[in-house]
Amino acid sequence: MVDKTEKTEKTEDNIILKVDNLGKIFGKTTILKGISFDVKKGESFGIVGVSGSGKTTMMKVLVGFLVPDVGEVLFRNREVLKSVHKYSEEAKMAIGFAPQEPSFYLELTVRENLDHFGALFGIPREERKEAIDKLLKKVDLLEAKENLAMKMSGGMRKRLGLIASTIHNPSIFVLDEPTADLDPYSRKQVMKYIKDVNKEGKTVIIASHHLDDLEEMCDRIAVVHKGKLLRVGTPDELKDLYLKDKVIELRTEKQDYEAIKKALDEDKEAKISEMKEEGRRFFVKTQDAVSALTTIMTVIKKSKDELKDISIQRPSLNDVFESMMKKEANK
């Protein structure tokens, strides 16, 4: 988890990236419209949205690969906010972008790839060499230094893509779906690297639909849907805003949850929003967990069943997101 205390102290002067009324169209399709948000220096900023929501397009506009049709993207360079597109050369040095598909040459070795990208960014040879070893060590790829990229696993490729994007030590690190399709080990490695970069004071902008990851890594999260920005806030703010429910998860010996369902339906104080059976377990969403728990325990006792395990959880960002999407759908 990032240090939120430090982040809260940041002021408006600390804005490192400003997205102002961003709009992008492809042909007759509007991909992005009226998107505005700020990213603060050293902040870990998440962008979440379903597939096709415009996340990737937004990322490409942010890094200057695509030019917006409306609005602009500003980045801070020496205390001055400048347009990413008008000052592209400076922006290129300030921003590092790791696309969803790792960007490197499969036919080159790990070292050759990093050396190539380092050289493209004008890093002197000796510095490059040093930086390469350092970065490889960070993502546990040092041993694979002379391996061809095409011979590496998906996870290794993802890690290579990440360090290739940051070889020039940018102040803003933009990542598109960094943890998608990764095995747990690689996912852990990637997340650790992102956190480390962020800890070094770099600003990290992550687009993903893996909300758990975003929740773990990001200070603030922007929710994008159909090209529009629905909400920006910390994970807690979003949860509080959209879902006050808690989730009770339980499992009994008999696994007969009908009596519990009936009793909870009759318990108006518990304010049950959802009940469902998933496999051997039973889930209950409630605004009054104490009341709901009392009812559940009463039913179990009465039916002479045995409680195997039980837990009470706050709703995840996934739940928040689902809720938001439902609300949007109902509009």
Partner 1 sequence: MILDLFRLVSKNFKLLLRTKTSILTLILAPVIIIFLLGLAFNTTNVYNIRVGVYSSHYTELADSLLSKLKEKEFTILKYDSEKECIERIKVGDSNICVVFPPDLAVEKGKTNNIVFHVDPSETNLVWLILDITSSEFSSKSQEISLDLTKALLDRLSNTKQKITEKSVVVEKLIENNIEMTNISNQIDAKIKTLSFKVSGNLSVETLKKAEDTSQSEVRLLKNYVKNEIINSKTKITTAKESAANLPNSTDKDHVISSLNSISLSLDNINTRLDKIDSLNKTEWKQINTQISQLGTNIEDTLQKMSAAEKAASDVTTKNNQAKQITDEDLARLNEVKSTFENIKSGVESIKIDDAGNIVNPITSTIKPIVEEKTHLNYIFSGIVMMIVMFVSILLASTVIVIEKKSKSYLINYLAPTSDITFVISMFLTIMMLMIMQTAVIIGISAYFYGSQILPNLGTISLILISSTALFVLIGMLIAYVFKAEQTITLITVSVGSTFMFLSDIILPIESMPTAFQYIVKFNPFLLSETLLKKTVLFGVGIAGIWEDLLLILALSFAIFIIILMVEKLIKRHTLFRLINWIFPPKKNF
> Is residue 28 at the binding interface for partner 1, with CB under 8 A as the rule?
yes
CA-CA distance, 123 to 81, in Å (whole number)?
25
Return left, alpha or beta for 271; rule: phi > 0 is left, psi -120 to 50 is alpha, else beta: left
| Cβ proximity to partner 1, 108 vs 310, nearer residue | 108
Which amino acid would we find at residue 51?
Answer: S
- Residue 71, CA distances (Å) to 79, 246, 267 in order: 21, 40, 52
- The answer to whether 25 and 242 have CB atoms below 8 angstroms apart is no
Q: How many residues touch partner 1 (CB under 8 A)?
A: 41
Position among 21, 36, 255, 311 found at the interface with partner 1 (CB under 8 A): 21
**Sequential DSSP letters for 9-30:** T--GGGEEEEEEEEEEEETTEE
Site string for partner 1, 196-225 (x = CB under 8 A): ------------------------------
Position among 67, 241, 290, 307 found at the interface with partner 1 (CB under 8 A): 67
- The answer to whether 225 and 59 have CB atoms below 8 angstroms apart is no
Site string for partner 1, 31-60 (x = CB under 8 A): --xx--------------------------
Query: What would the two tokens of residue 246 be?
Result: 């808690």
Give strand pairing partners of 172: 95, 203
CB of 308 to partner 1, least distance (A): 49
Position among 81, 142, 148, 180 found at the interface with partner 1 (CB under 8 A): 148
Q: How far is CA 223 from the centre of its chain?
A: 10
- Residue 211, CA distances (Å) to 25, 206, 216, 238 in order: 27, 11, 8, 12
Helix (H) or strand (E) holding 294: helix 289-302
CB of 118 to partner 1, least distance (A): 10
CB of 170 to partner 1, least distance (A): 10
The residues in 238-257 that bind partner 1, with binding defined as CB under 8 A, are none
CB of 238 to partner 1, least distance (A): 25
Collect all residues with Cβ–Cβ distance below 8 Å to 197 and sequence separation of at least 6: 166, 173, 204
Query: What would the two tokens of residue 112 be?
Result: 């050759």
CA-CA distance, 212 to 153, in Å (whole number)?
24
CB of 154 to partner 1, least distance (A): 13
Site string for partner 1, 153-182 (x = CB under 8 A): -----------xx-----------------
CB of 137 to partner 1, least distance (A): 21
Which of 226, 109, 118 minimizes the C-alpha distance to 170?
Answer: 118
CA-CA distance, 205 to 62, in Å (whole number)?
10
| Cβ proximity to partner 1, 7 vs 24, nearer residue | 24
| Cβ proximity to partner 1, 81 vs 148, nearer residue | 148
Site string for partner 1, 80-119 (x = CB under 8 A): ---------x--xx-x-x-x-xxxxxxxx---xx--xx-x
CB of 292 to partner 1, least distance (A): 44
Q: Which residues bind partner 1 (CB under 8 A)?
A: 21, 23, 25, 27-28, 30, 33-34, 63-67, 69-71, 89, 92-93, 95, 97, 99, 101-108, 112-113, 116-117, 119-122, 148, 164-165
